[in-house]
Amino acid sequence: MNVKYKSNNNIVYSCKYHVVWCPKYRRKVLTNGVDVRLKELLLEYAANLSVDILEMEIMPDHVHILMEVAPQFGIHKAVKSLKGYTSKVLRSEYPFLKTRMPTLWTNSYFVSTVGGAPLEVIKQYIENQKTSQRQKDKLG
């Protein structure tokens, strides 16, 4: 397993998330150039937030993003910021988005952590810590 960790002043981390969100009423409005502009805006604004977008796909009625977010910034703040910024810009650039829906995005989203070791491996590692420490104490 080749995990690359990031670090800042006092934290070393690898926090990757799969995030999905939809336009209000699951309307298929992310087409005809809106999708391309949305990708540009997400990449641009994510860089300002120090959020790394590792993969992204815009479907007509939902957005999939694989992103890495610093733990002190938090996934909720990252998603809220990205949705808020893109809604404001897209609704000003594409007036039809204002007439069809009261807001561009739903309030909800899906998020799941991604990467690292499988859950069972981590559980086993934690369970074995005490045994491992006892063995070190005996040797030490």
Q: 94-101: long-range contacts at Cβ-Cβ below 8 A with a sequence spacing of 24 or more?
A: 94/34, 94/37, 96/29, 97/29, 97/34, 100/27, 100/29, 101/23, 101/24, 101/25, 101/27, 101/29
Mean residue pLDDT of the chain comes to 90
Average of pLDDT values for 31-48?
A: 97
Dump pLDDT digits (tens) for 82-107. Answer: 999 999 999 999 999 998 889 999 99
Which of 99-108, 116-125, 126-135 tops mean pLDDT?
Answer: 99-108
Tell me how crowded residue 128 is: count the other CB atoms within 10 A of its CB: 11
**Residues designated as active site:** 125
> What are 48-78's pLDDT values in tens digits?
999 999 999 999 999 999 999 999 999 999 9
Note if the pTM is more than 0.75. Answer: yes
